[in-house]
Amino acid sequence: MSTLIVPPHVPSVAEDCEQLHKAFEGWGTNERLIISILAHRNAGQRKAIRHAYAETYGKDLLKDLDKELSSDFERLVLLWTLDPPERDAVLTDEATKKWTKSNQVLVEIACTRPSKGLILVREAYHSRFKRSLEEDVAYHTTGDFRKLLLPLVSSYRYEGDEVNLRLAKSEAKILHEKIKGKHYSDDDVIRIVATRSKAQVNATLNEYKNEFGNDIIKDLEHDDDNEFLPILKATFECLVYPENYFEKVLREAINKRGTDEGALTRVVATRAEVDLKIIKDLYHKRNSVPLHRAIVKDTHGDYEKMLVALIGEDDA
């Protein structure tokens, strides 16, 4: 499911640090060398490199990268080099500070990360920003959006596969009644999406479709005037169909007039070690174009090379 390619014989951490340090020396930065190392190391290896770099040179690798690189390439390398929980903490901080009603990054992180992973994100947020994620979400959001987002970022879902089919039937009926009545932010809707396990939500949505004939996502598309609906729809998609959700984010990022580098960078950096292989295959199937070709067409330079490396297509 991961697209990350780690070579069978990885150099020592000390050697990687030395090579990265050399990449920063002289008149120009050796971006190709940086890509050849960081784009081919897993999260544990990157963490070890950061630690050893600080011990060896007395400097923060991230600060050196920030100083030497620029633009979208810099953003991608910095996000990729961060520990996954720390990366998500940075993304959630940006999403809360720049929050708009169309911003789905908080839902994306709250609903696609495993329960223990979300706890690590909250801990990383505490450590990095000296505030809680919950208090910032509560402060920066309002109304129905706060009503949904606050319990989502605070949740600790059961991760097992067991489901209660009787409960799924009853909650499918509740969801249908609330959606039919356009009570999208009803307490019961929020309770179901914010507390039930992903397996239980999936069972509920299956019962919904079996009983009422429509996928719930389709039913949520029938009210174009409601500004809360897109984020509720994204919540269901991220909980049950995360690969479909991320494929759509990539498609919209690449296919719109002018590439949305922010969305493209975020998805590649956060999913390369998780499920980007599935997302990449879905993209090819739905768009009749391999993802790496779409990226090469819409991006350029070292940013393009780093993206292509992270999706496992260095030689494409």
SS3 track for 211-279: HHCCCHHHHCCCCCCCCCHHHHHHHHHHHHCHHHHHHHHHHHHHHCCCCCHHHHHHHHHHHCCCCHHHH
- Residue 221: what pLDDT? 87
* pLDDT averaged over every residue in the chain: 96
60 touches 29 (CB < 8 A) = no
The answer to the question of residue 159 being in a domain is: no
Token pair listed for 150: 């606050």
Q: What is the mean pLDDT of residues 152-175?
A: 98
Q: What percent of the chain has a predicted confidence (pLDDT) above 70?
A: 99
The answer to the question of residue 193 being in a domain is: yes
Using CA of residue 24, residue 26, residue 31, residue 37, what is the dihedral sign? negative
Final residue of a structural domain among 240, 260, 281:
240
25 and 54 inside one domain: yes
130 and 114 inside one domain: yes
171 and 236 inside one domain: yes
Final residue of a structural domain among 103, 122, 153:
153
Q: What is the mean pLDDT of residues 170-194?
A: 97
The answer to the question of residue 99 being in a domain is: yes
Q: What is the mean pLDDT of residues 172-185?
A: 97
81 touches 40 (CB < 8 A) = no
96 and 127 inside one domain: yes
Q: What is the mean pLDDT of residues 92-118?
A: 95
179 and 229 inside one domain: yes
169 and 225 inside one domain: yes
- pLDDT, one tens digit per residue, over 27-47 is 889 999 999 999 999 999 999
Q: What is the mean pLDDT of residues 3-30?
A: 95
Note the Cα 97 to chain centre separation in Å.
17
238 half-sphere exposure, CB direction, 13 A CA radius:
23
The answer to the question of residue 189 being in a domain is: yes
246 and 294 inside one domain: yes
64 and 90 inside one domain: no
Structural domains in the chain (count): 4
- Residue 316: what pLDDT? 40
Range of the domain at 57: 13-69
110 and 126 inside one domain: yes
169 and 232 inside one domain: yes
The answer to the question of residue 77 being in a domain is: no
CATH number of the domain encompassing residue 41 = 1.10.220.10
The answer to the question of residue 8 being in a domain is: no
Q: Quote the pTM value.
A: 0.96
The answer to the question of residue 3 being in a domain is: no
Answer whether residue 210 shows pLDDT above 50. Answer: yes
Note the Cα 13 to chain centre separation in Å.
27
The answer to the question of residue 6 being in a domain is: no
Final residue of a structural domain among 69, 92, 113:
69
